[in-house]
Structure 1
Amino acid sequence: MARSLDGLVLSPVADQAPGQVGTRTRFDYHERDGEIWADYAGGDVVRGHLVGTRAGDRLDFRYVQLKRDGTTSSGHCVSTVVELPDGRVRLEERWEWESQPGSGTSVVEQLPDHGTRRGPSD
């Protein structure tokens, strides 16, 4: 199994459709005993949360988000955890909206120099 996601900050490598997560979105991941969760924000997303499970290198979670225009949306995602040659983590994702039509794939990667969360004074 790849290393723990706990404390990692990840971001999409490319923008999705308008009103969705994009390269300015940051995911702050946590992991404990097979459970994963993250808070995220940035770009068109004011606040988002995901929660789910990890089995080996497979994540299975649901997400919900509030966008700048005041609308909310939710969906389901299955991701594969991949360790990059430089030691950073990549998530290769297949997602599907549950609150609206649409599905797709995306890739998020650990940001360089963001191995762990930094406190407000860092």
Structure 2
Amino acid sequence: MARSLDGLVLAPVADQAPGQVGTSTRFAYHERDGRIWAEYEGGDVVQGFLVGTREADRIDFRYVQLKTDLSTSSGHCVSTVVELPDGRVRLDETWEWESQEGSGTSVVEEVVLDAPLS
């Protein structure tokens, strides 16, 4: 099993369709006892939340988000956790909207935050 997602920040490697998450979106993940949750924002998303479960390297969660036009949307996603050769984490995702038409795949990867200046 790949390492814990707790405390990691992840970002999409490519933009999705307009009105969805994109490369400027940041996900702040938490993990405890098989539970996964995250807050996210950036790009067309003003505020988003996801909550679900993790079993081994499989994550199953639902998400809901508020967009810049003040509309909301929600959906379901199943992700596979992959540890990259450089030690970072990647999620290979298959998602589907529940509040509207549409589905697809995406990839998010751990963002390496700059070290604070000393």
Asked if these proteins are the same fold (TM beyond 0.5), I'd say yes
Q: 1:44 corresponds to which residue?
A: 44
Task: Give the root-mean-square deviation of aligned CA atoms.
Answer: 1.1
Q: Matched residues in 1 for 2:2 and 2:19: separation?
A: 31
Name structure 1 gaps, 5 residues minimum: none
Q: Matched residues in 2 for 1:7 and 1:17: separation?
A: 27
Partner SS for 1:77: strand
**Number of equivalent positions:** 115
Q: 1:78 corresponds to which residue?
A: 78
Residue identity opposite 2:76 in structure 1 = H
Q: Matched residues in 1 for 2:101 and 2:43: separation?
A: 21
Partner SS for 2:24: coil
Q: 1:100 Cα shift?
A: 0.1
Q: 1:90 Cα shift?
A: 0.1
Q: 1:106 corresponds to which residue?
A: 106
Structure 1 stretch displaced more, 105-114 or 23-32: 105-114
Question: Runs in 1 of length 4+ with deviation above 2 angstroms?
Answer: none
Partner SS for 2:20: coil
Q: Matched residues in 1 for 2:52 and 2:113: separation?
A: 26
1:2-41 matches, cutoff 5 A: 2-41=2-41
Q: Matched residues in 1 for 2:53 and 2:102: separation?
A: 23
Q: 1:113 Cα shift?
A: 3.2
Name structure 2 gaps, 5 residues minimum: none
Q: Matched residues in 2 for 1:47 and 1:111: separation?
A: 19
Q: Matched residues in 1 for 2:48 and 2:29: separation?
A: 12
Residue identity opposite 1:33 in structure 2 = D
TM-score, normalised by the number of residues in structure 1: 0.92
Partner SS for 2:40: strand
Residue identity opposite 1:97 in structure 2 = W
Residue identity opposite 1:55 in structure 2 = E
Q: Deviations over 1:81-109 (max 9, x none)?
A: 00000000000000000000000000000
Partner SS for 1:19: coil
Q: 1:112 Cα shift?
A: 1.9
